[in-house]
Amino acid sequence: MSRLVISGASILNRAPADIVVAGDRIVEVGKPGSADTSGARVIDADGLIALPGFVDLHTHLREPGREDAETVETGTRAAALGGFTCVHAMANTEPVADTAGVVEQVWRLGKEAGWCEVRPVGAVTVGLSGTHMAELGAMAASAAQVRLFSDDGKCVDDAVIMRRALEYVKAFDGAIAQHAQEPRLTEGAQMNEGVLSGTLGLRGWPAVAEEAIIARDVLLTQHVNSRLHVCHVSTAGSVELIRWAKSKGINVTAEVTPHHLLLTDELARSYDPHFKVNPPLRTTEDVLALREGLADGTIDAVATDHAPHPSEDKECEWSAAAFGMLGLETALSVVIESMVNTGLLDWAGVADRMSVRPAAIGRVKDQGGLLEPGQPAHVTLVDESVSWTVRPEELASRSRNTPYRERVLPGRVVHTIFNGKPTVIDGRTERVH
């Protein structure tokens, strides 16, 4: 059995320790220098923070169908570089992941790529049409073991379909991950509706279009006693609604994207479509409420909504451009800037919101464990002391649509260990098989 010793890492930023890995498990955690390194590969982690491998609840890998934007191979490689050991692949591919066949295909592609675990998300309705429920049971029972279902990109806006889906997934401990966007209120919407949209002459996407769906869905979830996950929460009002729902004991969880924790609608002034995303960047007040919600646990997880697009879909006028931005390789740095450096979240908190809770929400058995003997060896090692300049052409994703071009961000993932094997060493990917 292969042995790996991670020496001198500060687990969750506590006192340094040696972590000994045998096969795909952590077998020993002890004082620095205590580990037997004979016959073992040694990773010098002196001065680095060790965290459980990150789990992303919201990744668009684009395969099958849009391999010009991203593939399972390129997207999961980007994930590994970002410190992720598991990603949830969204269902809005071509064909849509609405059958056992498609989710198994994506799951298998993930296994073959080997950079991290790929957990397919199944579509709630056939072809994301919003009208007929997809074969959720078949996807749950497939090799992909789907537990999260989402029409992401589109909202399950029909209240009856949403109710039925929430009820149906109870049979296999599933959850509906809702992209909360009332469609009529957001027809042709281009950016956050507010003072700036009026000035810029871009059609507004009002906060109420998100909040109205969340309000309805938490009440439906309460009524049928099921489990709801809210994707990419973007407004202060949504945070309040979720806080209220949790206080009533409703089984709801929520995620926030890194970009909604850092960027605001002011960036739309440039009319640069790299800042066009759905839901849109909101106001400073919203950003602060989201940070507070993530800090106090109202929001459970950071999820990237990594959305690759080819450059022709961004190098154009705003209204013609596609919605979405890359997120996997910059997620941790943005969380450090918005949450850690602001004193809102400590490193145990980062581990909780980026690994433990998302793994629990996705019902991912072998992820999100704390770094203790007996746990699966998924480890992300972070250097918080460095900063780096984001250069789109240096990213591993097949696309270049990062909103952080030339921005200096704090902290970097140095090494990533997935299933006991290094996928990233010194910030570069290692061939794993």
Partner 1 sequence: MNKHLLSAGDLSRNDALLVLDTAAQLAQVADRPVKKLPTLRGRTVVNLFFEDSTRTRISFEAAAKRLSADVINFSAKGSSVSKGESLKDTALTLEAMGADAVVVRHGSSGAPHRLANSGWIGGSVINAGDGTHEHPTQALLDAFTLREKLAGGEGDLAGKKVTIVGDVLHSRVARSNVLLLSTLGADVTLVAPPTLLPVGVETWPCKVSYDLDPVVPDSDAVMMLRVQLERMTDSYFPTAREYSRRYGLDNHRMSMLREESIVMHPGPMNRGMEITADVADSRRSVIVEQVANGVSVRMAVLYLLLGGYSPAQAEAEQTVEGS
Q: Which residues are catalytic?
A: 305
CB of 422 to partner 1, least distance (A): 40
CB of 265 to partner 1, least distance (A): 11
CB of 312 to partner 1, least distance (A): 5
> Which of residues 18 and 152 has its CB atom nearest to Zn ion in the complex?
152
Q: Could you give the CA distance from residue 412 to residue 77 in angstroms, rounded to a whole number?
A: 16
What Cα–Cα distance (Å) separates residue 364 from each residue in 120, 141, 230, 358? 11, 15, 18, 8
Provide the β-strand partners of residue 408.
389
Q: Which of 76, 228, 112, 235 is nearest to 163 (CA)?
A: 228
Q: Which does 319 bind (CB under 5 to 8 A by kind): Zn ion, partner 1, none?
A: partner 1
Q: Could you give the CA distance from residue 170 to residue 166 in angstroms, rounded to a whole number?
A: 7
CB of 274 to partner 1, least distance (A): 12
Provide the token pair at 349: 């908190």
CB of 268 to partner 1, least distance (A): 8
Query: How many distinct helices (H) and strands (E) make up the chain?
Result: 12, 19
Cα four-point dihedral sign 26, 27, 31, 33: negative
* Binding-site ranges for partner 1 (CB under 8 A): 190, 193-204, 206, 270-272, 312-313, 315-320
> Which of residues 203 and 216 has its CB atom nearest to partner 1 in the complex?
203
Q: Which does 135 bind (CB under 5 to 8 A by kind): Zn ion, partner 1, none?
A: none
Q: Could you give the CA distance from residue 73 to residue 116 in angstroms, rounded to a whole number?
A: 10
CB of 313 to partner 1, least distance (A): 7
CB of 119 to partner 1, least distance (A): 33
Report yes or no: 94 and 412 within 8 Å, Cβ to Cβ. Answer: no
> Which of residues 70 and 193 has its CB atom nearest to partner 1 in the complex?
193
Q: For residue 429, what are the contacts with CB-CB under 8 A and spacing of at least 6?
A: 77, 80, 81, 115, 396, 423
- Residue 70 — φ and ψ, nearest 5°? -170, 155
Provide the token pair at 122: 């199944």
* Binding-site ranges for Zn ion (CB under 5 A): 152, 179
How, if at all, do strands 148-149 and 175-178 pair? Answer: parallel
Provide the token pair at 243: 């806080």
Q: Which does 179 bind (CB under 5 to 8 A by kind): partner 1, Zn ion, none?
A: Zn ion
> Which of residues 79 and 322 has its CB atom nearest to partner 1 in the complex?
322
Q: Which does 152 bind (CB under 5 to 8 A by kind): Zn ion, partner 1, none?
A: Zn ion
> Which of residues 197 and 419 has its CB atom nearest to partner 1 in the complex?
197
What Cα–Cα distance (Å) separates residue 407 from each residue in 251, 337, 388, 389? 38, 12, 8, 6
**Which residue has its beta carbon closest to Zn ion?**
179
> Which of residues 204 and 411 has its CB atom nearest to partner 1 in the complex?
204
Q: Letter for the amino acid at 115?
A: W
Q: Could you give the CA distance from residue 117 to residue 107 in angstroms, rounded to a whole number?
A: 8
Provide the token pair at 56: 């992303």
Q: Which does 197 bind (CB under 5 to 8 A by kind): Zn ion, partner 1, none?
A: partner 1
Report DSSP state, residue 19: E
Q: Which of 310, 308, 260 is nearest to 285 (CA)?
A: 260
Q: Letter for the amino acid at 367?
A: Q
Report yes or no: 56 and 87 within 8 Å, Cβ to Cβ. Answer: yes
CB of 269 to partner 1, least distance (A): 9
